[in-house]
Amino acid sequence: MVKRPAIEEAALLRIRPSREERRQIAAVAEKIIAAVDKTGEARGMLVGSIARDTWIAGEHDIDIFLLFPADLPREELEIRGLALARRTAGLFTGSVTEKYAEHPYIQALIDGYEVDLVPCYDVASASAIQSAVDRTPFHTRYIRGKIDGFIDDVLLLKQFARAGGIYGSDQMTEGFSGYLCEILVLYYKGFSPLLSAAAAWRPGCVIDPEGHGKKKFDEPLVVIDPVDPKRNVAAAVSLSRMMGFVELARGYLAAPSPAFFDVEQEPGITREELSDLLNKRRTHLFSITFAAPPLIPEIVVPQLKRSVEAITEWIERNGFPVQNARYQLEGDRCMLLFELLIAELPAIRTHLGPPVWNRENAEKFFGKYAGGANGGLPYITTGKYAVEVPREYPYARDLFSPHLILNTSLGKHVRQSLAEGFDVAEGADCWQEEFAAFIGGFLKRASPLIRTRQKKNGGKK
């Protein structure tokens, strides 16, 4: 085996779980699984990064699946599965919460560990799954069968992706899942060869470890699931995240530094910094803040994205160019942020009419405006009628009125939340403690490699 660079060895010393952590986790998992198995109702199975030995020290949520017979009706599974999960958790803790992803499941705090107890079907092959959760045991089996000798590489990749801000397949991150990291390390046979390959990735890149190669995918990065040819493991990875990884790979290969493995909290911008920055940029910042819809992020975040797009479209349709727009879900609050190039337009705007040669419409248009009651008077420009009318919204601020914002194509639950009220702020007044990091990143946009270099030890060894 090739000797790793000192930087990577040093990182591994920090991210490899200790023997004590491993022992404790194994003990917790074992007693829960034993309790499940004892019921005879379902079979307990440890899955996820714990099961695969690929968790980063301290990042140790325990995922235990309860595998029920595949012939159990779906409603039965939901009722009996949840009941068993709750009962099992109750044996060890009083802290039990019901959660909901595709199915309901139980989250419990046992001996200081967050444990998910997830009912699923025990199916014969991954192609026979009835829902996404049924696939997880196959992933675990696949990775466990091949991961020997590559565990440190997976740890390095996960930490590298986390430090670069592209770890996580949630809608907010649009980055790499743990399973994707494992597949990539196995496919390229290590962390280093993966980075060398990724430095030359282009959109449309297809990685197919088991040579399934049938289905076409539209996503920029395609990694065909070894256990399910119809699934792209990298479906959540946005083009920008993919290219962020490409950039990080190049940057690390060219000039390795511990910063590439340092997970550093983005420092939030202060109110004064924000005020200074806006004065310097001379742009016009507007924020909409409101209570998050009481739903999981997987449902809320895509709606936030859609809402920002719709509102941006609305703002630009009124003649105000938008420099940047973004959304953030922070606990139970959401913020939509818009940076405009201008905040005020003239009192008039051009309203184009029909061509003069289109007699019926032309005469209608002329009749409507000839009196001047609706603003200017009709004139002819390149053969068409036009008229200057009063601009409906000469001040950008007015575009954020509740009835106008609610009239855009918002996501359903975001609309419901906004309809209950929202705050609009302008300029430095957009600043809020809980969104300070978001606002800072919004105004000081920088690629993952730049952010890595900005870390305290960025660029230097």
- Which residues of this protein are in contact with a second copy, per CB under 8 A? 199-203, 220, 239-240, 242-244, 246-247, 250, 280-283, 319, 321, 323, 341-342, 344-348, 350, 355-357, 359, 362-363, 366, 370, 376-385, 388, 394, 444-450, 453
Min dist. Cβ of residue 445 to a second copy (A): 4
- Tell me the torsion sign for CA atoms 297, 301, 302, 307: positive
Which tokens belong to 41?
């109702």
Min dist. Cβ of residue 352 to a second copy (A): 13
Min dist. Cβ of residue 300 to a second copy (A): 23
Supply φ then ψ for residue 224, to 5 degrees.
-75, 130
Min dist. Cβ of residue 284 to a second copy (A): 8
Say if strands 221-225 and 284-291 run parallel, antiparallel, or are unpaired: unpaired
| Nearer CB in complex with a second copy: 104/376 | 376
Min dist. Cβ of residue 326 to a second copy (A): 11
Residue 371 contacts residue 405 (beta carbons within 8 Å): no
| Nearer CB in complex with a second copy: 256/394 | 394
| Nearer CB in complex with a second copy: 38/368 | 368
| Nearer CB in complex with a second copy: 80/349 | 349
Residue 215 contacts residue 230 (beta carbons within 8 Å): yes
| Nearer CB in complex with a second copy: 226/353 | 353
- Tell me the torsion sign for CA atoms 220, 225, 230, 236: negative
For residue 42, count CB atoms less than 10 angstroms from its CB and return exposed for 0-12, middle for 13-18, buried for 19 or more: buried
Give the count of alpha carbons within 13 A of 42, CB side only. 31
| Nearer CB in complex with a second copy: 411/458 | 458
| Nearer CB in complex with a second copy: 5/346 | 346
Min dist. Cβ of residue 423 to a second copy (A): 24
Min dist. Cβ of residue 425 to a second copy (A): 19
Find the angle CA(108)-CA(112)-CA(117) to the nearest 5 degrees. Answer: 25
Min dist. Cβ of residue 321 to a second copy (A): 8
Which tokens belong to 19?
């023997």
Min dist. Cβ of residue 459 to a second copy (A): 10
Min dist. Cβ of residue 239 to a second copy (A): 4
| Nearer CB in complex with a second copy: 48/448 | 448
Rounded CA separation 392/12 (Å)? 60
Rounded CA separation 58/49 (Å)? 12
Rounded CA separation 133/47 (Å)? 11
Give the Cβ contact number of residue 429 at 10 Å: 15
Find the angle CA(23)-CA(29)-CA(34) to the nearest 5 degrees. Answer: 125
Min dist. Cβ of residue 193 to a second copy (A): 18
| Nearer CB in complex with a second copy: 413/444 | 444
Min dist. Cβ of residue 8 to a second copy (A): 23
| Nearer CB in complex with a second copy: 302/375 | 375
Of 252, 249, 256, the closest CA to residue 188 belongs to 249
Gap between the terminal Cα atoms of the chain: 24
| Nearer CB in complex with a second copy: 64/362 | 362
Of 140, 155, 152, 139, the closest CA to residue 55 belongs to 155
| Nearer CB in complex with a second copy: 200/291 | 200
